[in-house]
Amino acid sequence: MQGKFITIDGNEGAGKSTQIDFIYQYLKNKGISAVLTREPGGTELGEKIRELLLSNSTGKMHSDTELMLVFAARNEHVQNKIMPLLEQGEWILSDRFSDASYAYQGGGRGLDIARISQLESWVLQDFTPDMTLLLDVPVDIGMKRVESRGKKDRIEWENLGFFNRVRDAYIARSQQYPDRIKLIDASQSIQNTSNQIQEILKIL
């Protein structure tokens, strides 16, 4: 049986972690034991890069450096984990992948999309997820959901304008790649959002 690579992405508080658990269980009930992973991270080195990217103690970082670090972590992830697992026929569920770079570094930080695309081609060549579930929630609702966590990481200190640009960039990606990226209204209840996801997963 051939493995599949499914990614889940979205703006702050969209419910990715909540829904990835649902997807994992849904697949398990169908007899598929998926491997859960995340970005930035997913490998030992990738998790160290994640710490650099998200720790408040890192301080200021040039946006190009941030972009290259997320792709460095991604290269480790794809070469040393995702590809080998897919070759063994495993299904992989990743909490975030390259669309996040277009949204956060492209939309949020304002980096040139053509440069992100160049870096993506260099690192991934033509490798893309089989399916991306994009959870979309208005920024104010998402923020309220994550506020209760109290602690903010280095990127979460950004202003509302940044997070609105992130959301807009995600939506633009879903319009550009409608076959791969499935846009889900994540402003609904957890159950309603899971129901939308379940309908989409039926096509796999």
Question: Per the structure block, which two tokens stand in for 201?
Answer: 């997963």
Mapped onto helix, strand or coil, the DSSP state of residue 92 is strand
Instruction: Note the Cα 122 to chain centre separation in Å.
Output: 19
Q: How far is CA 144 from CA 105, 152, 189, in A?
A: 23, 13, 14
> Residue 203's closest CA among 176, 175, 173, 182?
182
Q: What is the DSSP string of 21-75?
A: HHHHHHHHHTT--PEEEESS-SSHHHHHHHHHHH-GGG----HHHHHHHHHHHHH
Q: Is 70 in the site for ligand Z5A (CB under 6 A)?
A: yes
Q: Is 18 in the site for ligand Z5A (CB under 6 A)?
A: yes
- Measured CA to CA, the distance from residue 151 to residue 149 in angstroms comes to 6
Instruction: Answer yes or no whether residue 156 interacts with ligand Z5A by CB under 6 A.
Output: yes
13 binds ligand Z5A (CB under 6 A): yes
Contact between 91 and ligand Z5A by CB under 6 A: the answer reads no
> What tokens were used for 180?
């791969």
Cβ of residue 95: shortest distance to ligand Z5A, in angstroms?
6
Structure tokens at 61: 């970082």
Shorter beta-carbon distance to ligand Z5A: residue 175 or 192:
192
68 CB-near residues (< 8 Å, 6+ apart): 119
Least CB distance from residue 27 to ligand Z5A, whole Å?
18
CB of 28 to ligand Z5A, least distance (A): 19
Check residue 146 for interaction with ligand Z5A (CB under 6 A).
yes
When binding is defined by CB under 6 A, the residue of 36, 160, 190, 204 that contacts ligand Z5A is 190
- The yes or no reply on residue 136 touching ligand Z5A (CB under 6 A) is no
Which residue has its beta carbon closest to ligand Z5A?
A: 15
Q: Please select the residue that binds ligand Z5A; options are 5, 6, 16, 123, rule is CB under 6 A.
A: 16
Residues 20-59 that bind ligand Z5A (CB under 6 A): 39-40, 54
Verify binding: residue 120, ligand Z5A, rule CB under 6 A: no
Interacting residues with ligand Z5A (CB under 6 A): 10, 12-18, 39-40, 54, 70, 95-96, 100-101, 104-105, 145-146, 153, 155-156, 186, 189-190, 193
